[in-house]
Amino acid sequence: MPISSRNFKWIQLALLFFAAAWIAGTSWLSTPGEGSRSASPRAGFPAPSFTLTDLDGDPVSLSDFQGKVVLLNFWAAWCPPCKAEMPAFEALQQAYRGDELVILAVNTTYQDDLTAAQEFVVENNLSFPVLLDMDGKVSNAYQILAMPSTFFIDRDGIIQQVIVGGPMSETLIQTQVRKLLAEVP
């Protein structure tokens, strides 16, 4: 049965309306940003921003370190691989003191024992900031599924490498950090 010209116009109008609604809907759902990239916890994407308190109760934001290389490590006091790689982070902190490197250790306090974490920091003389993720929001933003999880973030705030699991060797950590520090800002 042939379509009448009147029905054909209604079909065209319906298709045009559907196409306009599709375009409007998809543009509304996408997040505008630099290069249309939103924060995502993987290499090549901006590191999700956050503010947490440190062990002294002072707020620390990732944005405080814009222009610096950031090694962001998620850990827990009950996690043996997490604790095993902390001396390598401390050695790195001492080796690059004063350079453009920041180490941020985010304790997943929402699933850890705060006292055990504090004792571990003191016993190991950790000199880099230890931040407390009390409610798990930052861990969720970074989609932490296993610990330790480490993010190497460049001076522009872009994640360059994600390493899940550990402990990482001191050589691997140093290689990644040297590579990022060598990049011209």
Does 34 or 78 have the greater pLDDT score? 78
Is-contact 152 177, C-beta < 8 A? yes
Tens digits of per-residue pLDDT, 5-18? 676 676 666 655 65
Side-chain half-sphere CA neighbours of 42 within 13 A: 3
- Rounded to the nearest integer, the mean pLDDT of the chain is 85
Q: What is the pLDDT of residue 172?
A: 92
Q: What is the DSSP letter of 111?
A: G
pTM for the structure as a whole: 0.77
Q: Can you name the CATH fold of 35-182?
A: Glutaredoxin (3.40.30)
Quote the percentage of the chain above a pLDDT of 70. Answer: 78
57 pLDDT tier (thresholds 50, 70, 90): very high
Q: How confident is the model at residue 65 (pLDDT cuts 50, 70, 90)?
A: very high
Which pLDDT tens digit goes with each residue over 90-145? 999 999 877 789 999 999 999 999 999 999 999 999 999 999 999 999 999 999 99
Residue 41's pLDDT is 85
pLDDT at 21 over 60: no
Angle at 25 between CA 22 and CA 29, to 5 degrees: 140
**Centroid of chain to Cα 41:** 5
DSSP string covering 122-177, please? HHTT--S-EEE-SSSHHHHHTT--SSSEEEEE-TTSBEEEEEESSPPPHHHHHHHH
